[in-house]
Structure 1
Amino acid sequence: MTVPKLPSAVLWDMDGTLVDTEPFWFAAETELVGRFGGTWTHSQAITLVGSGLRDGARVLQDHGVAMTVDEIVDWQTDFVTGRLVAPLPWRPGALALLSGLRDAGVPTALVTMSVRRMAEAVAAALPFGGFDVIVAGDDVALPKPDPEAYLLAADRLGVDVRTCVAIEDSPPGLAAAVASGAATVGVPHHAVLPDGDRWRLWATLDGRGPEDLAAVALELAAR
């Protein structure tokens, strides 16, 4: 039996995939809209999952938040970062899979639309060595669903993105990863992810190891 070759790198989304920060973002949006006399529902919050913060800020402006885009992004980032208190709400199986990849010598990148200072705070909270590369929302011109962030991560790692596996939890993130050419695993959490023949959906990362990612990459490459 042939053992699938491990990916050249694994590219991780952060919010909702590595760590469950989405409830903090929902709370930030609700409080900010409320400060300006508006209301913000859970359904509305779900529509912003995985989006770029600046795009989300413009939506909040449309709902009455009388602040600049930069002010909204900074306020939300401070709100969420202030709630990242140990132990962080790591997603099931995420730390074990990340640790297994590092033990196997597979490079990893954190690819997030959150700003760099928040991404670095999450990476620093890992109970073992952090990511080899971090690509944050303020590193790219185009947010997910554009593939720029994933292409930049692969470039900084010095690998071909087509030999990488990306892990995502949101529709914009899934679209970005697939468009980049990476083999993609979707792990739905707060947002619903569609079925498709260009990616695979897992209910959880719990119990998954590097060999499972290798198998997905091999399967998708054969299609």
Structure 2
Amino acid sequence: MTTDFPAAVLWDMDGTLVDTEPYWMRAETELVESFGGVWTHADCMKLVGSGLWASAEILRSAGVDMEPDAIVQTLTDRVQQQLERAGVPWRPGARELLAELRRNGVPTALVTMSVRRMADQISGLIGFPAFDVVVAGDSVENAKPHPEPYLTGAMLLGVDTSRCVAIEDSVPGLASAVAAGAVAIGVPHHLALPESDAYTLWDSLGDRTIADLASVFRTRPAVEGVVAP
């Protein structure tokens, strides 16, 4: 690839590649209600894009009397059950763009705050070898919005983060990608994303191509990231 093309593309999962947020919201609501609490849609929205262990602490403050690791395991189990029963709700255009990247030999990483077993489950259902590496929430010390997840993805691919495009749907995810020095594209779904010179906003991945990614990369904003975890 030329210097006008990204060395790799780093993908968020929940809300970007797949629309699993309703599954997480259902799991959170059921868990809080099982302890006699109330969990509203607004409460659910506050957790979108957050790391699972940070979310677990918020759920504990809502009355869930469990240890954080147990909360993460319970939520993940419930979401995986829904995936098995109802299938994977792919986001429009995501698999198609991912497939085009793979056909053209562009390295890819999945950078998600879900745990590895769920990331592997979804990766295995894509229908082709989609990712060279997977960075999951249980494989990093610091969750998004910290830059560590995206720095780790680029490091495992052997590329500089500044040569990567990251695709995200949440404010914490975009903050992580920008702080890591990646060229970030925000594709809002459940929550609106604010306009910013630090990243590019797309309404959807539908009909987006590798040429569109290259165009964003060529006109990338001059945003300083960090160079090490």
Match of 2:55 in 1: 56
Match of 1:194 in 2: 194
Tell me if structure 2 keeps the 8 A contact 1:112–1:136. yes
Match of 1:15 in 2: 14
Match of 2:217 in 1: 217
Using the size of structure 1 for normalisation, the TM-score is 0.96
How many residues align? The count is: 221
Match of 1:131 in 2: 131
Letter of the aligned partner of 2:160 in structure 1? D
Q: How far did 1:217 drift?
A: 1.1
Match of 2:46 in 1: 47
Letter of the aligned partner of 1:108 in structure 2? T
In the alignment, the residues of structure 2 paired with residue 160 and residue 4 of structure 1 have an alpha-carbon distance, to the nearest angstrom, of 12
**Are residues 1:36 and 2:35 paired?**
yes
Q: Closer, same or farther in 2 for the Cα pair 1:131/1:195, shift >3 Å? A: same
Runs of 4 or more, structure 1, over 2 Å off, are: 3-6
Tell me if structure 1 keeps the 8 A contact 2:198–2:221. no
Tell me the alpha carbon deviations over residues 166-192 of structure 1, each in whole angstroms, 9 at most, x when there is no partner. Answer: 000011001001111000000000122
Match of 2:122 in 1: 122
Q: Closer, same or farther in 2 for the Cα pair 1:194/1:221, shift >3 Å? A: closer
Q: How high is the sequence identity, in percent, across the aligned residues?
A: 57
Matches within 5 A, 1:158-169: 158-169=158-169
Tell me the alpha carbon deviations over residues 36-71 of structure 1, each in whole angstroms, 9 at most, x when there is no partner. Answer: 111111111111001000000000000000000000
Tell me if structure 2 keeps the 8 A contact 1:4–1:211. no
In the alignment, the residues of structure 2 paired with residue 40 and residue 87 of structure 1 have an alpha-carbon distance, to the nearest angstrom, of 25
Using the size of structure 2 for normalisation, the TM-score is 0.94
Match of 1:153 in 2: 153
In the alignment, the residues of structure 2 paired with residue 159 and residue 64 of structure 1 have an alpha-carbon distance, to the nearest angstrom, of 43
Q: Closer, same or farther in 2 for the Cα pair 1:221/1:197, shift >3 Å? A: closer
In the alignment, the residues of structure 1 paired with residue 199 and residue 57 of structure 2 have an alpha-carbon distance, to the nearest angstrom, of 30
Match of 1:97 in 2: 97
Match of 1:184 in 2: 184
Tell me if structure 2 keeps the 8 A contact 1:186–1:193. yes
Tell me if structure 2 keeps the 8 A contact 1:4–1:214. no
In the alignment, the residues of structure 2 paired with residue 222 and residue 112 of structure 1 have an alpha-carbon distance, to the nearest angstrom, of 25
Look up the SS of the partner of 2:83 in the other structure: coil
Tell me the alpha carbon deviations over residues 11-53 of structure 1, each in whole angstroms, 9 at most, x when there is no partner. Answer: 0000000001000000011000000111111111111001000
- Structure 1 unaligned segments of length 5 or more: list them: none
Q: How far did 1:88 drift?
A: 1.4
Letter of the aligned partner of 1:14 in structure 2? M
In the alignment, the residues of structure 2 paired with residue 191 and residue 29 of structure 1 have an alpha-carbon distance, to the nearest angstrom, of 18
**Are residues 1:6 and 2:5 paired?**
yes
Match of 1:65 in 2: 64
Q: How far did 1:4 drift?
A: 7.8
Match of 2:170 in 1: 170
Tell me the alpha carbon deviations over residues 132-164 of structure 1, each in whole angstroms, 9 at most, x when there is no partner. Answer: 000000110000000100000000000011010
Q: How far did 1:221 drift?
A: 4.7
